[in-house]
Structure 1
Amino acid sequence: MKEEERVLTLDDYEYGVVVNALNELRNDLIKEERPTDAVDELLLKTIDAPTKKQKRRSHDEAR
């Protein structure tokens, strides 16, 4: 059975909030000497997520 994937669209501000929240969670786990593996993976996945390129209108559509 294939795993379900989810797509989340964030603006720059929301993206920053998510990255900062994950980083704070990671730091808290480190202070508590708890494993950070899952948060590390999600943080890296979030940081490496591609941006959606804006579609450009062709010359005909611009008229």
Structure 2
Amino acid sequence: MGTTQSSVARWESGGSLPTIDLLDRLGRAVDLRLELVASHRDATESEDSPSCAVSFGAR
């Protein structure tokens, strides 16, 4: 997928985050489709709630 083991180790440890492009390459490497779904905060949610949600799924 064109990355190094040390980069993967940083993601696993929380030291960095993969880019969307890299997540797409990872999905292709393991034959999964990457879906990103984002939504705005509902007016009924509290201010402490995240302003958007992102979910990852495989099909």
With the length of structure 2 as denominator, give the TM-score of the two structures: 0.27
User: Normalising to structure 1: TM-score of the pair?
Assistant: 0.26
Pair member with larger Rg: 1
Q: Which has the higher helix share?
A: 1
- Greater strand fraction, Structure 1 or Structure 2: 2
